[in-house]
Amino acid sequence: MGSIPITRSTRSRVKACLDVETLVESATPQLKEIAAVGASFADPNAEDACLVFTRQVAMLEGTLKQTFRAATLLARNSGGLKEIAEVWKRTGHFCRTFLTTLASLKDKYANCGTPEIYDLALDYTKACDDRLRDIEEEIECQRIDLPKGLLPEFQS
């Protein structure tokens, strides 16, 4: 069975089906799940606790990476700068929610991969903030008129 070619038309249909709000909503249940699993063990040092929690960390890492990749594609295929800014604003908010969820768990489950995924979430949060700042600067630059005489006059 052959693959479906990705064309401009296919991209616009995919774009219509997935927006940043839906993307973030689809990733949020995994955050709730890891918080519930983390709270379910009285002794985080128990062997079964770390085993179960490590599985959750692996799934959560996949969710974080996939959400960021999808946000990158949404931004790339966005129609304008304000739409791109919204993608990075919402994705950055998701990353900060991710960090908040993991803040207490990274110490409680320090030997189960939690500090590493926390650091990865910090990197993604910074990347979102950097991209949002760059887009906001670009939007602001478009509002500024060029000073007269900066460029040669166009002669028709």
Output the six-digit token pair for 147: 């000073």
Residue 150 within any structural domain of the chain = no
Residue 149 within any structural domain of the chain = no
Residue 13 within any structural domain of the chain = no
Query: Which sign, positive or negative, has the C-alpha torsion 72, 78, 81, 83?
Result: negative
CB atoms within 10 A of CB 19: 16
Output the pLDDT for position 44: 87
> For residue 113, is it left (φ>0), alpha (ψ between -120 and 50) or beta?
left
**Average pLDDT for runs of 10 along the chain of length 156:** 54 64 90 92 87 94 95 92 96 96 92 94 98 96 82 77
What interhelical angle do 47-76 and 20-40 show, nearest 10?
170
Residue 39 within any structural domain of the chain = yes
Q: What is the largest CA-CA distance in the chain?
A: 79
Residue 117 within any structural domain of the chain = yes
Output the pLDDT for position 144: 84
State the CATH number of the domain containing residue 38.
Answer: 1.20.58
Residue 4 within any structural domain of the chain = no
Domain that holds residue 139: 19-143
Residue 151 within any structural domain of the chain = no
Q: Are the C-beta atoms of residues 88 and 23 closer than 8 Å to each other?
A: no
Structural domain total, the chain: 1
Q: Which residues contact 55 (CB under 8 A, 6 or more apart)?
A: none
Residue 55 within any structural domain of the chain = yes
Phi, psi of 144 (to 5 degrees): -90, 125
Collapsing DSSP to helix, strand or coil, 118 comes out as helix
Whole-prediction pTM:
0.80
Nearest Cα to Cα of residue 121 among 63, 38, 40: 63
Q: What single DSSP character describes residue 154?
A: P
